[in-house]
Amino acid sequence: MCYNLIMTPDTKKLLESVGSWPAEDQEALAEAAREIEARRSATYDAAPDVLAAIDQAIRSADEGRFATDQEVAAIRAKFHQA
């Protein structure tokens, strides 16, 4: 597989301006780039907040704390996935 290692002009221009963005916008761009890289490489390096959420979910499961059927139904209804 061969990739063009030269950035497109639009990408180069955009990346040159990123340094002036607020930190939260820079992190949003970094997360989007991680998702693209994961899709391209079949790996995903989760952001620290995502890893923390996963760790918390595992602790909750280990402690036997699970959502009730009613809580699951409410979430599904909220997102129209009943």
Domain ranges of the chain: 22-78
Q: Give dist(CA 42, CA 67) in Å, integer.
A: 31
pLDDT digits (tens, 9 = 90+) for 10-68: 999 999 999 999 999 999 999 999 888 888 887 777 889 999 999 999 999 999 999 99
Q: Give dist(CA 29, CA 65) in Å, integer.
A: 34
Say what the pTM is. 0.46
Token output for 71? 């809580």
Q: Give dist(CA 32, CA 6) in Å, integer.
A: 20
* pLDDT given at position 51: 94
- Dmax over CA atoms of the chain, in Å, equals 53
Token output for 33? 């780039």
